[in-house]
Amino acid sequence: MNKSFLLYPLLIMTFFTGCSAPKQENVQFNAYPPRPLEDYFEDAPPIQPTETKKETDVWDTSDIDISYVQKDRKLISFTFDDGPSKTMENILAVFAEYNERNPDCRATATFFLNGGVILPDDTSLLQTATLLGFELGNHTHSHFDLTSLDKETLQTEIEKTDALLEKIDGKSRHLLRPPFGRINGEVKAQLAVPVINWSIDTLDWTGNSEEKIYQSVYTARFSGAIVLMHDGYRATVNALKRLLPDLKADGYQIVSVSALAKAHGCALRNGSEYIRARKQ
Ligand SMILES: [Zn+2]
């Protein structure tokens, strides 16, 4: 019997009782360059697809539960890349403790996972996350820059991870977060899913402190924002412990990307890139 087998029931319990549990070390990725400044237009349209080649092909959110989303609240989406890693259980435990204390303003998030680091032992943890309302997204299998790949390798990178995730959440396709946020028109033209990048970058992968991560989100917050964080950093977990209650106190609810788009009436078009989803 492995250690994680014992922890998954505990994690489910944390949803109700609010305690946390550690997880084993796992693979981490290096070299994560920041997004170019032109991605941060203040006066851009509320939702900004950079490609609209598949106008009629819209991401299906009919099965996305938004019954817990409070209509009078501002919404912000938290995303965690590069997992599952050693801190995923800790991240889920922070959410579980917050949700136990705030059943009127439940928080969820989206994990963009790399198929190449999903271990057999991770399956139960990921299933638990899905049951708790978290969304699983595709961050490719090997974390290659998609703009550097030939068409066949690109499809393989996405399909291998979709197949692994389907065994967990039963969905054949998943929102895509391109490694390094790098995408171009040629890649988008080959995609049958929306590309989700971000409007707020915590730069947690650079070793930023808990305080820096906290401030990077809290000072830049706006309704419809998509926040980039990573699974794998203790400082990120600690910043979350403050961000969840403080954002609630400022009128926010934290939700997954698909829930944000659905609750805000934003149709995500397959093959288009999004960095936020403001209320329509
Ligand atoms: Zn990544």
How many whole angstroms from 56 Cα to the centroid of ligand 1?
A: 29
Residue 132 has pLDDT above 70, yes or no: yes
Residue 19 lies in a domain: no
Q: What is the pLDDT of residue 46?
A: 42
Q: What is the pLDDT of residue 56?
A: 52
Domain that holds residue 238: 74-274
How many whole angstroms from 201 Cα to the centroid of ligand 1?
A: 12
Residue 11 has pLDDT above 50, yes or no: no
| φ and ψ of 14, to 5 deg | -65, -25
Q: What is the pLDDT of residue 19?
A: 27
pLDDT digits (tens, 9 = 90+) for 214-241: 999 999 999 999 999 999 999 999 999 9
Residue 23 lies in a domain: no
Q: In this structure, what CATH number is given to the domain that contains residue 202?
A: 3.20.20.370
Q: Which residue has the higher pLDDT, 257 or 43?
A: 257
How many whole angstroms from 31 Cα to the centroid of ligand 1?
A: 9
Residue 7 lies in a domain: no
Q: What is the pLDDT of residue 77?
A: 98
How many whole angstroms from 17 Cα to the centroid of ligand 1?
A: 32
Residue 48 lies in a domain: no
On the question of a cis peptide bond just before residue 22, with omega within 30 degrees of 0, the verdict is: no
- Smallest CA-to-CA distance from 271 within 46, 58, 40, 48 is with 58
Residue 36 lies in a domain: no
Q: What is the pLDDT of residue 71?
A: 87
Q: Which residue has the higher pLDDT, 51 or 209?
A: 209
pLDDT digits (tens, 9 = 90+) for 93-120: 999 999 999 999 999 999 999 999 999 9
Residue 17 lies in a domain: no
Residue 244 lies in a domain: yes
Average pLDDT over residues 21-40: 34
Total of domains in the chain: 1
Q: Provide the residue type at 266 as one letter.
A: C
pLDDT digits (tens, 9 = 90+) for 157-201: 999 999 999 999 999 999 999 999 999 999 999 999 999 999 999
156-160 long-range contacts, Cβ below 8 Å, gap at least 24? Answer: 158/191, 160/115
For ion ligand 1, residues whose CB falls within 5 Å: 81-82, 179
Residue 48 has pLDDT above 90, yes or no: no
Residue 15 has pLDDT above 50, yes or no: no
Residue 269 has pLDDT above 80, yes or no: yes
